[in-house]
Amino acid sequence: MKIITSCSARPLSGKVFVPGDKSISHRALLVSALSAGETCISGLLESDDVMVTIRAIQALGSPVCRENNGVWRVFGSGLGALKEPRDILDMGNSGTAARLLFGILATHSITATLTGDNSLRARPMERIMSPLRKFGANFLGAERGSLPLTIVGAASSVPIEYKLPIASAQVKSAILLAALNTPGKTVVIEPIPSRDHTERLLRHFGVEIDVEEISSGGRYISVVGERELKGNDIRVPADISSAAFLIVAALLVPGSTLHLPQVGFNPLRIGLVETLRDMGAKILEYDSADINGEPVMDISLEATPLVGVEVPIERASSMIDEYPILAVAAACASGTTVMRGISELRLKESDRISAMTRGLRVCGVKVREAQDSLTVYGTGESPRGGATIDAENDHRVAMAFLVLGMVSQEPITVTGAETIKTSFPKFVDEMNALGADLRI
């Protein structure tokens, strides 16, 4: 077990190249494996979560290698050409890898068993299984709808139309990936737009995909299947979800100024930035660019006093991974911050609502939780801190409390911090280089 203690930080200053976007890294590898020919991926996140995806596509017959310059090469054999794995596929802690891979396997006539660590085996899979059964796939395994599960792919899949009961980029993406090896047009209707990395990436690979806005505010997404994908080079932008910890740390530690180049600024992923600006944050963006269909920005920021806000409920899907670090910002702000419509947080690597509630309370912060909301009562003063926090197998909980320790009156110790390497392997080194005092 890795234990890290976070003490008061000096002003954070410098330029940080945030690691590659985890969501895009998974998708880039999976789509490359389905493409005919070679794909070169630069900026790939080299974390535990992404490594399980690499091992999975290798087990399915797609060779993958890393060049000395950090570029990853994937040699795809095309749609319908995956090989049946010889062994169980261990997806580690990655729910994204497991759910998206189920989507691909659902319409290939092979049988595969997926498992994961204790945290992943506790996470629900029925939301993925339900639409994939409509393609013709079958699932064998735990009655409660969790890993380990064996999927028997459809020998002859059929296109579907599926309305998502809740906004979920993972469920949407699994359906779209299943549609690629299915004849005809498959349609996904989402009530609230969720991150659209899969749609952008499929378009980059030449897939015929249409996205229409509907009157209710959602989207109607259609894909025509059984069209060959051709290998196409990809550059993965910096991950806005990882950048979030640097952004909030710089806003909270007095005297800080940071510059973050080439951060992914997908409009369906920047809810935290919008919320922090509502709280008074000084966040500047410039040098916009487009990388394989994804908008990117350079970001600069400086320490700013924050005020509590009520976060618009419709913003939840665009910042669902950032609520733990937002709760830390709220704990240091003046006034009350209310976060509603966040019940999805209870189904992540941990129950993040409860994990943040417990942790903030022992650090001296007044907090109130409900089934789908979290309210933090900030005083504008540094929280007491002086606590030991169990990360609960959750990288975002671990990093959130390490950031809080940088500004709390007494150090905060996080146990189980090894989970940070699932998304931000060099978090401690990067933070310490900027002026933090994180001690392993």
Query: DSSP per residue over 2-49, as a string?
Result: -EEEEEPPPPPEEE--PPBPHHHHHHHHHHHHHSEEEEEEES---SHH
Q: By the 8 A CB rule, do 71 and 41 touch? A: yes
Residue with tokens 């540094």: 382
Q: How far apart are CA 187 and CA 176, in angstroms?
A: 8
Helix H segments across 238-322? 240-252, 271-278
Residue 7 CB contacts under 8 Å (≥ 6 apart), including other chains = 405, 406, 411, 437, 438, 439
Beta strands in 132-256 (DSSP E): 138-141, 149-152, 161-163, 185-190, 209-213, 219-224, 234-235
Between the alpha carbon of residue 48 and those of residues 51, 55, 275, 431, 434, the distances in Å are 5, 11, 30, 20, 24
User: Catalytic: 321?
Assistant: yes
CA distance 69 to 40: 11
In sequence order, the 6+-apart residues with CB closer than 8 A to the CB of 299 are 243, 247, 259, 260, 263, 283, 284, 285
CA gap 259, 327 in Å, rounded: 23
Instruction: State the DSSP H helix or E strand holding residue 115, giving kind and residue range, or none if neither.
Output: strand 111-115
The catalytic residue among 117, 321, 351, 394 is 321
Place of tokens 């997806």: 91
Could you list the active site residues? 321
